[in-house]
Amino acid sequence: MTTYNSRDEIILKEKWNLTDIYPLVADWENDYSLVKNLTPELKGFDGEITDGKKLYQYLSKKELASSLLQKVYVYSMLQVDLDTRDTFAQSMLARVKQLSVEFSSASSFFMPFLLSLDESVLKSYIKEEPKLDYFSDDLLESYRYKSHVLNKEKEEILSQLGEAFSSPSNTFGMLNNADIKFGEVTNDDGTKVELTRGMYSKLIEDDDRRKRKEAYKAYYKPYLQLKNSIASTLAGAIKNNVTLSKIRNYPSALEKGLFGDKVSKEVYDNLIATTKRKISPLHRYAEIRKAKLGLKELRQYDLSTPLVKGVKQDIPYDEAYAMMLKALAPLGAEYVTILKKFKEERYIDVRETAGKRSGAYNLGLYGVHPFILLNHHDDLNSLFTLVHEMGHAMHSHFSAENQPRITAGYSIFVAEVASTVNEVLLINHLLNNTHDLNVRNHLLNHFIDQFKGTFFTQVMFAEFEKTTHEFSESGTPLNAEVFSKLYESLFRQYYGDEIVFDDEVKYGWSRIPHFYRPFYVYKYATGFAAAIHIAEKILDGDKKTLNTYHEFLKSGSTDYPLELLKKTGVDLSTPEPIENALKKFEQLVEEFSAL
């Protein structure tokens, strides 16, 4: 792995070309000013929309302002992510965030106004102004929210309270990212150094159990110290969500969380129930892990270290990209050709540098192209991350190429499908092209652990969210003790009795940022299950599934997520896709055990 001191050392083709968005900062300033001027114009439509023509004028102006706002926001965000220490980029982003609040406030009148109209009146507006056809599906879809939208004055108040409602999340974010100081660990030379998150992710996989335990204890130390403060922020976030659900007349917070995607409570419950019914292979894997590591007691800090030693694959970025193109060949020549272009035209920022945002993501910017952020380390994990993010990027590309702006975005519910299909194709390609038993075992171990993290852990988190919201709705006080008791119970149910619990296990809830974005994590698991179903069919040579999958990638938000998936042969209202995914997991564990 190459270490870079600055971005100047990185070759051009491995860096974003942000001039694709704005050639000059002056161009960004022009669009910023345009949005700034359009915002009061939108507010000026309040009380003035009395016919189809006026309605079209408002909606077209709002779409223009919204698209420009997205563009200026993305440009400044990408600049900050390249170097979070860049004060000029930070000030640009701060200005756009403020502008975004002004835009939201200026247009907050519209939904209450729209839903105050009788549906027949709206349809007469659409009939008299043909240009409204473009917006008609969205307008009529809004009536689904009729019983959940308040009057104009109340919506204005809720809009102004947005910052207060997000305070628990912001407080946790500051605690978690800025204030928390982890305990110390012993360096290779015997000196003590403060643990960082980056160090922890490596140390928890270390072959040396003493290092793993030391890192684990040091990592959890501040969370145990701050357990009551963090419990207060989480309880506040849950109560806020429950209160908003009541204010907006939803039967429960869960149903509010599922409403936008038109997902029934049964789909959520079915995911949890089916997983728990078929949990035994995960318990079996814990037994295998204990035996492979030769331990008398398996503890939480033993769950991430690779079970196959001595396989350190060095995969340079260019080689990783070539491997990806081969692995994804079953998706067709067009798919592979477009992927080649992403690399050549600098859609990807590849290398880790000081100040750069950690992790990886894809961000699709309509009218420009996707931007993919990586922190590539020339290893197997980086290869999987590359393939995963390019799945998202291709989904963004195909939807933007085949849909107008209004339907180009896709729901988070289906977002993990394309990325995971790519990963399943990759693991299949790698397994088919290795003759080294140790490497094969290593790959199986990698995929099993990924399955565990993306599926089982997320289902456990989903059950934790559901139960804590139900506690709040029934008036049960939420505090560190309640959270810890529930989390420990769930961890035992999912991961089995083979694990000996350290005190830290039950405080796992305190370090999960996703809990501040309720009823989101289950989508990782449903997306993962759907992707396994689709990928297995494609690998079996099922041409119909390949064709419907390509249609799915091009569909954006032209239908509700469950309906889009049904067209590919995945029906998440039944246990079948979940059962198929769990069957695949069982096969992986069996093969790994036999090897």
Where residue 16 sits, what CATH number does that domain have? 1.20.140.70
Of 100, 131, 165, the position where a domain reaches its end is 165
pLDDT per residue as tens digits for the range 218-257: 999 999 999 999 999 999 999 999 999 999 999 999 999 9
pLDDT per residue as tens digits for the range 91-107: 999 999 999 989 999 99
Is residue 122 domain-resident?
yes
- For residue 155, count CB atoms less than 10 angstroms from its CB and return exposed for 0-12, middle for 13-18, buried for 19 or more: middle
The pLDDT score that the predictor gives to residue 510 is 97
Q: Is residue 583 located within the same domain as residue 472?
A: yes
Long-range contacts, stretch 483-486, CB < 8 angstroms, 24+ apart:
483/231, 483/234, 483/509, 483/510, 484/227, 484/509
128 labelled catalytic: no
**pLDDT (average), residues 495-510:** 95
Of 125, 143, 165, the position where a domain reaches its end is 165
Is residue 397 domain-resident?
no
Q: Does 263 have pLDDT greater than 80?
A: yes
Lookup: tokens for 471: 């506690």
Is residue 334 domain-resident?
no
Dist. CA 341–CA 352, nearest whole Å: 22
Which of 38-42, 51-55, 436-440, 577-581 shows the lowest per-residue confidence on average (mean pLDDT)? 436-440
Is residue 391 domain-resident?
no
Percent above pLDDT 70 for the chain: 99
Q: Is residue 278 located within the same domain as residue 156?
A: no
- Which of 14, 214, 389, 463 is an active site residue? 389
The pLDDT score that the predictor gives to residue 158 is 82
DSSP string of 247-295, one letter each residue = HTT-S-HHHHHHHTTT--HHHHHHHHHHHHHT-HHHHHHHHHHHHHHT-
The pLDDT score that the predictor gives to residue 152 is 79
Which is nearest to 278 in space by CA: 32, 580, 513, 43?
A: 580
Q: Is residue 51 located within the same domain as residue 155?
A: yes
What is the chain's mean pLDDT, rounded? 94
Q: Domains in the chain: how many in total?
A: 2
Percent above pLDDT 90 for the chain: 83
pLDDT per residue as tens digits for the range 523-560: 999 999 999 999 999 999 999 999 999 999 999 999 99
Q: Is residue 156 located within the same domain as residue 253?
A: no
Dist. CA 306–CA 311, nearest whole Å: 10
Q: Is residue 21 located within the same domain as residue 128?
A: yes
Residue 515, CA atoms < 13 Å, CB-side half-sphere: 30
The pLDDT score that the predictor gives to residue 3 is 65
**pLDDT (average), residues 296-313:** 89
Dist. CA 121–CA 504, nearest whole Å: 59
Is residue 13 domain-resident?
yes
Q: What is the pTM for the complete model shown?
A: 0.88
Structural domain range at position 137: 7-165
pLDDT per residue as tens digits for the range 153-212: 888 888 788 778 888 988 998 888 778 899 999 988 889 998 988 789 889 999 999 999
The pLDDT score that the predictor gives to residue 2 is 58
Q: Is residue 247 located within the same domain as residue 151?
A: no
Dist. CA 481–CA 459, nearest whole Å: 22
With tokens 């299949």, the residue in question is 428
Q: Is residue 161 located within the same domain as residue 260?
A: no
Lookup: tokens for 251: 């039967």
**227-247 and 209-225 are packed helices; what angle lies between their axes, rounded to 10 degrees?**
60
Q: Is residue 161 located within the same domain as residue 42?
A: yes
Q: Is residue 132 located within the same domain as residue 253?
A: no
Of 117, 133, 165, the position where a domain reaches its end is 165
Q: Which residue has the higher pLDDT, 155 or 578?
A: 578
Neighbours of 178 (CB within 10 A): 7
Helix (H) or strand (E) holding 194: strand 192-194
Is residue 18 domain-resident?
yes
**pLDDT (average), residues 340-349:** 97
The CATH number for 459's domain is 1.10.1370.20
The pLDDT score that the predictor gives to residue 363 is 96
Is residue 401 domain-resident?
no
The residue count of the chain comes to 595
Is residue 234 domain-resident?
no
Dist. CA 350–CA 369, nearest whole Å: 17
Residue 439, CA atoms < 13 Å, CB-side half-sphere: 12
**Residue 589's pLDDT band (cuts 50, 70, 90):** very high
**pLDDT (average), residues 444-450:** 92
Which of 67-81, 123-137, 428-442 shows the lowest per-residue confidence on average (mean pLDDT)? 428-442
Q: Does 333 have pLDDT greater than 80?
A: yes
pLDDT per residue as tens digits for the range 13-65: 999 999 999 999 999 999 999 999 999 999 999 999 999 999 999 999 999 99
Which of 77-81, 174-178, 191-195, 437-441 shows the lowest per-residue confidence on average (mean pLDDT)? 174-178
